[in-house]
Amino acid sequence: MNLNQLQYFVTLAHIEHYTRAAEKLTITQPSLSHAISSLEQELGTRLFERQGRNVVLTKYGRMFMQYAEEALAILDTGVRKTKAMTSLSGGRIDIGYIYTQGAEFVPGLVANFLKDYPQMEVEFGFHNGVTQEVIKGLREEKYDLVFCSMVEGQKDLDFLPVSKETLVAITPLDHPLTQKDSVTIAELAEYPQIFFNKGSGLRPMVDRLFKVARKKPRISYMVDEDSALAGMVAQGLGVGIVPDVPAIRSMPVVRLTLKDLQFSRLVYMVTQKDKYLSPVARTFINYVKERYEILAEDLES
């Protein structure tokens, strides 16, 4: 069974005349007769019966007609939506991003894009998660692009740095370390730690800080994202290291500068190499590149 057979069947069912149906379909009458006969053989039943010079649906033809029309309608909707979503003037862009990028960076970027391209009708889909999750979603083509930490050894992905986040230590409001303006990793290591899970892009960076300081952290709890970590710190369950982002500044914790911090956390726009993208997705990615390629060298230095 193929699409043409379904279209021929539905057309003949409406017109009820082989010659006129063939003319409408711009095929020969023998071709139409052969297609209907093949369809009947496959279904194992008669779909039409003669009524004078016309043909009408049998009981089984009427039943099959419901499903055939529904299938063609669904397919037509899919074709129209696909064309609309992949046109030059609009469509859908799915963005994956780590939690810290959801408050300011991604909304600001999208707002500026829509302002600079008012002629485009774009529908955005937003999805957050830890770095490993959004990278997985990118490879599975759930997302057109993602914003996350660097993951080494990904030869099929392009990483473009777009922002830099400073790391800070956070403690409960009544913690002994709040008497200081800044702390070392060694001082922080004296207390129970709230850490990121291993799927987080920040986890290797925090691990590295403790390794450089030659300190082994006493990990009490592990979480996926920054606000959850800060929430646990606020409840006195430990101390932690997080990016200095707006969500953290609004939490009931004390932020302390890290004295021995030798690097910052970079956030990257990540895309797949040699993968088909809709015109509107390519336009958005090129827009991000134009805004940040000039800054890339500075961010990585």
**Average pLDDT per run of 10 along the chain, which is 301 residues long?**
91 95 94 95 94 94 94 85 72 92 92 94 92 93 94 92 91 95 95 94 91 94 93 97 90 93 84 90 94 67 56
Q: What CA–CA distance (Å, rounded) separates 144 from 146? A: 7
b/e burial code for range 233-261 (CB count within 10 A of at least 16 → b): bbeebbbbbbbbbebbeebebbebebeeb
Q: How far is CA 68 from CA 3, 27, 39, 53, 130, in A?
A: 10, 20, 12, 24, 44
pLDDT, position 76: 84
Identify whether the C-beta of residue 64 lies closer than 8 Å to the C-beta of residue 26. Answer: no
Coil, strand or helix at 141: coil
pLDDT, position 295: 62
Write the burial class of residue 2 (CB in 10 Å: 0-12 exposed, 13-18 middle, 19+ buried). exposed
pLDDT, position 89: 76
Hey, what amino acid is at 195? F
Identify whether the C-beta of residue 181 lies closer than 8 Å to the C-beta of residue 173. Answer: no
Residue 122 main-chain phi, psi, to 5 deg: -115, 135
pLDDT, position 79: 80
